[in-house]
């Protein structure tokens, strides 16, 4: 069991490093779409190698004098977009970037930590124990599940041209919007702007438990893991509902009183 724990922690560290490396490469090679800006790509300023690497070289790390591509800040890839906006499909590279952000983005780590903490509190699986090293192993397990899930969904999307984003309805009654959000767990938009079954989620939800059994002390059970795969659709529906109503919450916090927003009003009261 100790050997399995150590192997899982090593896998976690190596996969984390790989995700950071991939995210860095995507950030460095990302070029803005000329359709999004009136300024052409040729007119964009290209930093000199000395300017680009000045801060990095100051650390004492030996780097080449020039890179084969300009370093550019990564542009935020929207996880959800309004349905009413003109549809623009993602490139294959952007779809992979989407998966990397779901694995190692800012919102992924708190979610994995929460899942690991709940498993730690419930001693699931019991064979991993209750020490601090067990918490690390459980977090590594959830990271591995996310890593496998996003790579499976990417491979399926590369074949059937699914769009991984959630498209917000943003109008109608609360129940209408909730039904819309929940139904998007089972359907996805394709690169032509139409709708299709979300094959990538179906394949991932029911295959990840089988893959995860290779490092888990709990043996694979078809009935239990089919149930867990179905529960994963429920978590996806909950995530969609949050994305659907988050713009309303943000408007409520920023609007009023006196156009300063409730947050500004609360800060003023505190100070």
Could you report the per-residue pLDDT of 31-65, keeping only the tens digit for each? Answer: 444 444 333 334 444 444 434 334 434 434 343 44
User: Is 242 within the bounds of a domain?
Assistant: no
User: Is 91 within the bounds of a domain?
Assistant: yes
CA distances from 49 to 27, 32, 247 (A): 17, 20, 41
3-state class of 189 per DSSP? strand
Specify the long-range contacts of residues 31-40, CB closer than 8 Å, at least 24 apart. Answer: 31/72, 32/72, 32/75
Could you report the per-residue pLDDT of 155-173, keeping only the tens digit for each? Answer: 999 999 999 999 999 999 9
User: Is 43 within the bounds of a domain?
Assistant: no
Which are the contacts of 75, defined by CB distance < 8 A and separation ≥ 6?
Answer: 30, 32
User: Is 39 within the bounds of a domain?
Assistant: no
Print the domain residue range for 144: 2-30+76-163+197-236
User: Is 231 within the bounds of a domain?
Assistant: yes
> Torsion angle, CA of 89/94/95/101, rounded to 10 degrees?
-130
User: Is 60 within the bounds of a domain?
Assistant: no
Number of domains present in the structure of the chain? 1
Q: What is the mean pLDDT of the chain?
A: 77
**Alpha carbon 180 to chain centroid distance?**
21
User: Is 17 within the bounds of a domain?
Assistant: yes
Check: CB of residue 167 under 8 Å from CB of residue 90: no
pLDDT at 170: 94
User: Is 51 within the bounds of a domain?
Assistant: no
Could you report the per-residue pLDDT of 179-199, keeping only the tens digit for each? Answer: 999 999 999 999 999 999 999
- Please determine, for residue 220, whether its predicted confidence score (pLDDT) is greater than 50: yes
């Amino acid at each position: 069991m100790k050997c399995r724990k150590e192997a899982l922690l090593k896998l976690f560290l190596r996969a984390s490093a790989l995700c950071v490396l991939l995210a860095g490469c995507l950030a460095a090679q990302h070029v803005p779409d000329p359709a999004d800006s009136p300024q052409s790509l040729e007119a964009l300023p290209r930093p000199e190698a000395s300017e680009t690497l000045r801060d990095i070289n100051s650390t004492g790390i030996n780097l080449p004098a020039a890179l084969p591509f300009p370093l550019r800040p990564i542009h935020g890839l929207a996880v959800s977009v309004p349905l009413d906006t003109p549809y623009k499909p993602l490139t294959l590279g952007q779809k992979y970037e989407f998966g990397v952000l779901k694995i190692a983005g800012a919102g992924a780590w708190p979610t994995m930590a929460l899942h690991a903490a709940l498993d730690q509190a419930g001693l699931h699986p019991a064979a991993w124990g209750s020490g601090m090293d067990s918490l690390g192993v459980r977090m590594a397990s959830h990271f591995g599940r996310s890593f496998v899930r996003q790579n499976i969904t990417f491979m399926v999307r590369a074949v059937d041209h699914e769009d991984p984003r959630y498209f917000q309805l943003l109008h109608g009654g609360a129940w209408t919007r909730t039904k819309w959000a929940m139904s998007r767990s089972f359907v996805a938009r394709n690169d032509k702007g139409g709708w299709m079954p979300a094959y990538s989620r179906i394949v991932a939800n029911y295959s990840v438990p089988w893959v995860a059994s290779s490092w888990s002390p709990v043996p694979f059970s078809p009935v239990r893991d089919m149930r867990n795969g179905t529960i994963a659709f429920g978590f996806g529906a909950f995530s969609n509902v949050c994305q659907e109503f988050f713009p309303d919450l943000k408007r409520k916090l920023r609007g009023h009183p006196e156009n300063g927003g409730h947050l500004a009003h609360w800060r003023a009261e505190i100070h």
